[in-house]
Amino acid sequence: MMTTKVILKNCAMMGRNPEEILKSANDTICKNNQAGMFVSVWTGIIEISTGKLSAANAGHEYPALKTGEGRFILFKDKHGLVLGAMDGVKHTQYELQLCPGDKLFLYTDGVPEATDAQNELFGTDRMIEALNRNAEAGPKEITENVRKAVDEFVQDAEQFDDLTMVCFEYKG
């Protein structure tokens, strides 16, 4: 994971767009991947002055998006193959126009796959519900609300994956 992070950062620092970042990172990972490891990645670049977000998804969870006075919804972007699975894979880039007050929530699969004592998954429906409990809150409170909802759901059940979340609000 740490190697992938460094590769992605180096590709991004070269001024590439999300599609190019994922292609270059994938090709690099595939060259030295005797263990057959793979990683899901969502990458996005926002132009702060305009709110234009360019993004690409390599097998990662769908982002959740809240626009205007609305509620969070899953933004079902086009997924590409995870990085490291196969050399030469192309990932499709897309663009979103963010307006002041729009929020984007990204998370690892540990959030929807958190499991209770009966082996029931937390799921994306519960996650969206937790996001919308106070969708007007700031990003820190939003991630805390999701974490609290997951903790209440799983209670004392042992978990096998990390919970990683990030939320940001475009201020304009």
User: pLDDT by residue (tens digit) across 15-61?
Assistant: 899 999 999 999 999 998 888 889 999 999 999 999 999 999 999 99
User: How far is Cα 78 from Cα 55, in angstroms, rounded to an integer?
Assistant: 10
DSSP-derived 3-state class of residue 100: coil
User: How far is Cα 72 from Cα 169, in angstroms, rounded to an integer?
Assistant: 12
Phi-psi region of 53 (alpha: psi -120 to 50; beta: other; left: phi over 0): beta
58: nearest Cα among 34, 31, 33, 27: 27
Q: Which CATH superfamily is domain 2-169 in?
A: PPM-type phosphatase domain (3.60.40.10)
Q: Are 77 and 64 in contact, with CB atoms under 8 Å apart?
A: no
Phi-psi region of 130 (alpha: psi -120 to 50; beta: other; left: phi over 0): alpha
Query: Cα–Cα distances in Å, from 128 out to 5, 9, 102, 154, 163?
Result: 27, 29, 15, 17, 15
**Which pLDDT value is given to residue 160?**
85
To which residue do tokens 């059940």 refer? 157
Q: Specify the pTM.
A: 0.93
pLDDT tens digit at each of 172 positions of the chain = 778 889 999 999 998 999 999 999 999 999 988 888 899 999 999 999 999 999 999 999 999 999 988 999 999 998 899 999 999 999 999 999 999 999 999 999 999 999 999 999 999 999 999 999 999 999 999 999 999 999 999 999 988 888 999 999 999 9
Start-to-end CA span in the chain (Å) = 33
Would you list the domain boundaries of the chain? Answer: 2-169
User: How far is Cα 139 from Cα 75, in angstroms, rounded to an integer?
Assistant: 18
Average pLDDT, the chain: 94
**Which pLDDT value is given to residue 131?**
98
